[in-house]
Structure 1
Amino acid sequence: MIKHLVIVLLLLTAVTGRAQTPKRALDSITKVERDSIRKAEFLQNIGVGYFPTKYWNFDLRHLVKFNQFEGFRTGVGGITNEAFSEKYRVNGYVVYGFKDKEVKYSIGGGVRLHEGSGTWLNATYTDDLQETGSSGFLTDKRFFTFFEPRLLNIDLFHRKITKSLSLEHRISNHLLSETEVAVSRINPTYNYNFDLNGELFNTFALSTATVSLQWSPFSQFEMVDKRVDEVVDGFPKFTLQYTKGFADVFNADFNFGKVDFRTIHQFSLGEDSITNLTLVGGLAGGEIPLTHLYHAYPNNINKDTILQRFSVAGLNSFETMYFNEFFSDRFMTFQFKHFLRPFNISDWFKPQLVLISRHALGNMRSRDRHIGIPFETLEQLYSESGFEINKLIFGFGLSFAYRYGSYHLPVFEDNFAFKFTFNLSL
C-alpha cells in the first residue's frame, strides 16, 4: 500500500510541476522546438541544392557552371514550395553562357492529382543545351554537388527545344514511375549530318514517349509529414527505361526505340568500408542520330601531356577515355569501387583510399550514317583501373587511372590520367 501511495505522489508531483511551469518557459521550449524544425528543413533543402525562402526555393545548380562550349554559365532558377501551394507548383530557370553569348531557359508547372501516391502531372518548355551521347533516367533522384566534374571538359552539345508533359506516380513505396511525352527540335552545335537513305539532316524534329521505372526492393520507407521518405537506403536498386520515337507525329523525322537499364549494388565489409558495383546498359535501334546514342561517360581531355590533361575526376566516368572517342548504339559498362576505411590520422585529417576498376563494351550498326564526327566503337573490352585518395584538404583529393587491354594506346603516357577529386557534397 505504501509503495502504491509513493508512486501516486510521484506522479502527482510530476504533473503538478509540469502544470506550474511558467508560461515563458513553455514559450521558450516551443520556440526552441520550432527553430530546430526550421533548421532541419533548411539543411534538408540545402542538401538537395535548394536555398529556401518563404514561397520560393532557389535552385543552387544554376548559379555558376563551366564547360568548354559556353564557358562560364550563370543564372537563377528554382521552384515554389509547399507554403505557396501543396497542390500546385511552378518551376523554371534562366541562364547565360558567356562564351557562346546565348540565353537558355526553362519554365514549367505541375498539379498534384493524388496525394497518397505522389501523383503529379507536369508541363515544361525548355530551350537549353544537352551533351551529345548522354542518357539519363527520368526517375533519378535529385543529386547536388557544388559543381559537376565532367561538365568542365565537355565540348559536344546540341541545342534542344522541348515541350513535354510528364506524369510522376508512386506505384508502391518500392516502385516509382515517370512517363513523359515530348516534342523536341534538335540543332547540333557542331558539324554533323545524319544520313537517312541519302537525305542529310543537320537539324531534326523528334516526337518521343518515355516510360521509366525505379525499383528499390530492399529500401525501407516511413510516412513523415504526409510524405513518404526513404529511411533505409537498401541495395540493390534497379532502373529500367524505354523511349520510343515516332516519325510523322507532330512532323517528327525519325522512328526509333531505346532501352536503358541500370543496377547499383552496395554492401559493407566492415566499419566505414564499402564496396559499390554499378552496371549500366543501353540498346538503341532504328533511325536514331548521334545526339541520342551513347557514349560511355568519358572524362579525358584531348591534350598531349599528362599535366595538360590534369583536371577534375568524375564520380562515375572513365578517366582515361577521351571525349568523343567512342560512340555506340548498344553498350554496357561495369564499375567496381571499394572505399577503404578512412585513415584516422587526426580529428580533422581523415583521407580515404578508393580502389577503382571500370570496363566497357559497345558496338554500332550503320556507322556511315553519321557524317562529320570521327569516332570509334567498343567491340572489344575497354578497361581502366586506378585509385583515389579523397578528402586530403577541404574535400579535395587526387585520382590516378591507367588504361590497359584492347584499347591500350601506343604512346605509353597517353594511357595515364592524373587528376584531382572533389567530394564535398551537401
Structure 2
Amino acid sequence: MLKRYSLLFFIVCYSFTHSQPITEKESEQQQDSINKKEFVKYLGNGYLPTKYFNFDLRYLIKYNQFEGVRTGIGGETNNTFSEKYRINSYVVYGFRDGRFKYSIGGGFRISEQTNTWLNLAYTDDLQETGSTKFLTDKRFFQFFEPRLLNIDLFHKHITKSVALEHEISSKLLSETELAVSEIDPTYSYGYVLNDEVFNNFNLSTAKISLQWNPFDYFEMSKTSPKKIKDGFPKFTLQYTKSFQNVFDGDFNFSKVDFRTVHRIGIKDNHFSEITLVSGLASGDAPLTHLYHAYPNNITKETILQRFSVAGLNSFETMFFNEFFSDKFVTFQFKHYLKPFYISKRYSPQLVLITRYAIGDISTPERHQNITFNSLKYGYTESGFEINKLLFGFGLSFTYRYGAYHLTEFEDNVAFKFTFNVTL
C-alpha cells in the first residue's frame, strides 16, 4: 500500500513540475495566435487598430474622375476607450476639385443585450449620383475599389443625421435614420417641378433598413453570439421616405430597395453565386436619388482607351451615365470553377459571368441638361474572368448583346484587369 501511495505521489509531483511550464508556453503561443488573427481580422475589415483608436483605411487614398487623388485620415474609438460611447470622424482632400470633405459623429449604447446604439453625425462630402447605400452595410472595405476610378457624376451633400442601430436577433439587424440634407450637383442639372427648376435642393428623409441572414451559423461566447459561418441566401430591404415642407424639404418621394445574394455548392472554392438587386422610386425623385444600374465603362473611342479595372458586381460594357431609372432590376450569375492548382501559392481561377438589367423611367422630361436612355428593353452582357494570375491581378472579358447591342463591334467589348485580395 505504501509503495502505491509513493508511486502516486511521484506521478503527481512529476506532472506538476514538468507539465506546468509547457502549459504556460502553449497558452502564450495560443494567445499570440489569437492576437494575430484579431489583427488580420481588423485589417480585413479596413481598420488599423491602436490602443484607444482604430484608423479607418478607407480614407487613406482613392481616385476618381472628379476629385482626382482623394486622400485623408479617419477612424473610430474602440472598446478600450469605451464600451458605451464611441466617436468616429474623417477628413479627406480632393486634389482636382481642391476641396476638403469631412464627417464627425458619435454614438452611445442604449442596450448591451440587443446591441442598440443611438448615433449622431454631420457630414460634408460627395456621393455618386444614382447610387444607393444600405444603412446596414456598416462595413464595406476593399483594398482597391475599381469602379471608383471611373466615376465622374457626383453631388455634394451636407447631411445631419440621427440613427438607431438595433439587433432584433443575431440573424436580423435593423437601422433607422432621420436626416436633413442640402444637395448640390457638381454637374449642370435641373429638376422641373410645378414650373420651377431646382438646380440644388433640400431633402428631409426617413429610412429604415433590415438585414436578414437566416442561414448564418452562430455559437455562444461569454458575452454574445459569435458568427462562425456565413449562410446563404442573405436578404437586405430598405425603405426611404422624403418629406416635402418638413425641415424645408423640397420633394416628396419614396424608395424601396431590395438585394439578395445566394451561393450554391460552396466546396473547394467551386460554387455559383446569384445576386439580385431591385429598386423602385415613386413621386418627385431627382436624378441624384434614382438608379444607374452599376455601369463601369468609360466613354472613350477604343478598347485600349477604355482598358481599366473590372468591378465586383458592375456592368462592364455599360457606359457611365448611359442609363437612369426610377424602377429597375439587375440579375447577376457568376460560376466559379475549381481553381487551377499549379502550385500551393499559385492557383488561378476561371469565373463565368452573365448579367441582366431591366428598368424604366416615368418622367424623363423633368430632368434637364442631361441625356440618358431607358432600360425598358433589357440589357444583357456575358463574359469571363481569370482571377489571381499575378499578385491578385487577373483579366476580364465581357461582351454586350441583345436589345442594346451597338453598331460597332468594339463598342460592345470590355477588356479589363481584375483585382482580388482577401485576408
2:45 alignment partner, one of 44, 48, 52: 48
Matched, 1:423 2:414: no
Aligned twin of 2:384 = 387
Matched, 1:314 2:311: yes
**How many pairs does the alignment contain?**
422
2:261 alignment partner, one of 245, 255, 264: 264
Q: Superposition pairs for residues 204-223 of structure 1, below 5 Å?
A: 204-223=201-220
The offset of 1:216, in angstroms, is: 1.0
AA aligned to 2:191 is F
Aligned twin of 2:395 = 398
The offset of 1:122, in angstroms, is: 0.5
Aligned twin of 2:193 = 196
Compared CA separation, residues 77 and 15, structure 1 to 2 (3 A): farther
AA aligned to 2:320 is F
SS of 2:303's equivalent? coil
CA distance in 2, matches of 1:136, 1:339: 27
Compared CA separation, residues 419 and 12, structure 1 to 2 (3 A): farther
Q: Superposition pairs for residues 28-67 of structure 1, below 5 Å?
A: 28-67=25-64
SS of 2:74's equivalent? strand
> Superposition RMSD on alpha carbons, in Å?
2.0
Aligned twin of 1:118 = 115
CA distance in 1, matches of 2:418, 2:276: 22
CA distance in 2, matches of 1:301, 1:334: 22
Matched, 1:240 2:237: yes
Q: Superposition pairs for residues 175-190 of structure 1, below 5 Å?
A: 175-190=172-187
Structure 2 gap ranges (5+) = none
Q: Identity over aligned residues, as a percent?
A: 64
The offset of 1:270, in angstroms, is: 4.7
Q: Superposition pairs for residues 8-407 of structure 1, below 5 Å?
A: 15-21=12-18, 28-224=25-221, 226-268=223-265, 270-407=267-404
The offset of 1:23, in angstroms, is: 7.7
CA distance in 1, matches of 2:181, 2:9: 72
The offset of 1:146, in angstroms, is: 1.0
The offset of 1:349, in angstroms, is: 1.9
SS of 1:413's equivalent? helix
Compared CA separation, residues 203 and 38, structure 1 to 2 (3 A): same
The offset of 1:21, in angstroms, is: 4.5
CA distance in 1, matches of 2:4, 2:167: 50
SS of 2:251's equivalent? coil
CA distance in 1, matches of 2:63, 2:149: 5
Compared CA separation, residues 19 and 269, structure 1 to 2 (3 A): closer
AA aligned to 1:135 is T
The offset of 1:243, in angstroms, is: 0.3
Q: Give me the TM-score of the superposition, normalised by structure 1.
A: 0.95
SS of 2:37's equivalent? helix
The offset of 1:232, in angstroms, is: 1.6
SS of 1:151's equivalent? helix
Compared CA separation, residues 20 and 368, structure 1 to 2 (3 A): same
AA aligned to 1:217 is P
The offset of 1:223, in angstroms, is: 3.1
Q: Give me the TM-score of the superposition, normalised by structure 2.
A: 0.96
CA distance in 2, matches of 1:310, 1:271: 31
CA distance in 2, matches of 1:15, 1:197: 91
SS of 1:20's equivalent? helix
AA aligned to 1:60 is L
AA aligned to 1:329 is D
The offset of 1:142, in angstroms, is: 1.3
Compared CA separation, residues 383 and 24, structure 1 to 2 (3 A): same
SS of 1:343's equivalent? coil
The offset of 1:225, in angstroms, is: 5.1
AA aligned to 2:144 is F
CA distance in 2, matches of 1:410, 1:139: 42
The offset of 1:396, in angstroms, is: 0.1
Compared CA separation, residues 34 and 347, structure 1 to 2 (3 A): closer
Q: Describe the superposition over 1:7-44 as per-residue Cα deviations: whole angstroms up to 9, x where unpaired.
A: 99998766534532598766544443433332222111
Moved more, 184-193 or 140-149: 140-149
Q: Describe the superposition over 1:122-156 as per-residue Cα deviations: whole angstroms up to 9, x where unpaired.
A: 00111000000001211125132111110000000
Structure 1 gap ranges (5+) = none
